[in-house]
Amino acid sequence: MAILTALLSGLIFGLGLMVSGMSNPAKVLGFLDIAGSWDPSLAFVMVGAIVVASLAFFIARRRKRSLLGLPVQLPTSTAITPRLILGSAAFGIGWGLAGFCPGPALVALGAGYPKAIGFVAAMVAGMAVFELVERAKAGMQRA
Amino acid sequence: MLIDVAHFTPGLSLTGGLIIGVAAAVFVLSNGRIAGISGIVGGLLSLPRNDIGWRLAFVAGLAGAPVIAALLGKPAQVDIEANWSIVLVAGFLVGLGTRYASGCTSGHGVCGLSRGSLRSLVATLTFMAAGFLTVFVQRHLIGG
């Protein structure tokens, strides 16, 4: 059941990205180009998403278990670290270069665009580098 | 500041946003988790390798959305201006950066801000600023 609801959530999420225009890199770059001919549409995506999701998190925060009986696992970290800032900055540069963030890239991959497939492959490589570096660090701490 | 009226789609973008909100709501209320896409994908690579099933299912849903939309006669509009080398560098930065930041547009932007997290607000302002700056440099300093 948890697999089915995950599939459904991903599907709804993907359709939302398509309807909103987020899954089109040209639209994203038009939003990020404040100094040019600015298309502010994507600010409305955030407004719509937050209106609905904040209600859901308001409910979820008060529960130990989800409707399927799974533990509610919300992030607990509140630390604002150099890692958070530098990571977000690197992400933002990548986002501004190609107009893709992770969700829209996976939607475009599903639509069969070769460059989206290339983007996702490079993204997974970046995530793998993070894993290897973190594992090496953890290994050194143990030794 | 010039507004690009020809491409301005506040109604569709707001509607799409509401749909994204519904997806995040369904996921947290049924699976008890944040619909953060970089975390869901990144978790496929981390050890111990658990919950592979729902992670793959979520990704399959995302990638399946344009397939279903195309069957309904609404193919995804995807215009990629960047050349191949930019695409690959950008993908790598997005993968590495979102893992160090523990989140992307969905995890920090949508879910984090909906939870009222200051940490997510800082992350969101940082990646948006970096995005604005990158496009400015690329379109108006280098490309201009």
State how far the Cα of B54 lies from the Cα of B60, in Å rounded to an integer: 10
- Residue given tokens 């953060």 in the structure block: B36
Cβ neighbours around A119 below 10 Å, total: 34
Contact B140 A36 (CB under 8 A): yes
The residue assigned the tokens 């790598």 is: B92
Q: Please judge whether A84 and B42 are an interchain contact, meaning their C-beta atoms are less than 8 angstroms apart.
A: no
Mean pLDDT confidence for B85-90? 98
- Nearest by CB to residue A90, choosing from B62, B97, B112, is B97
Q: Express each pLDDT in B44-87 by its tens digit.
A: 998 777 789 999 999 999 999 999 999 999 999 999 999 999 99
Is the distance from CB of B37 to CB of A103 less than 8 angstroms? yes
When the pLDDT of each residue in chain B is averaged and rounded to a whole number, the result is 95
The model's pTM is 0.96
pLDDT tens digits in sequence order for chain A, 143 residues long: 999 999 999 999 999 999 999 999 999 999 999 999 999 999 999 999 999 999 999 999 999 999 999 999 999 999 999 999 999 999 999 999 999 999 999 999 999 999 999 999 999 999 999 999 999 998 888 77
Total number of domains constituting chain A: 1
- Domain limits at A33? 2-142
Interface pTM, i.e. ipTM: 0.96
The shortest C-alpha distance from B40 to chain A (Å) reads 10
Contact A2 B54 (CB under 8 A): yes
Contacts of A120 (CB under 8 A, 6+ apart): A105, A106, A109, B91
List the single best residue of B13, B84, B126 to mutate versus A (max A Cβ within 10 A). B13
Radius of gyration of chain A measured on its C-alpha atoms: 18
The 3 state secondary structure assigned to A61-126 is CCCCECCCCCECCCCCCCCCCHHHHHHHHHHHHHHHHHCCCHHHHHHHHHCCCHHHHHHHHHHHHH
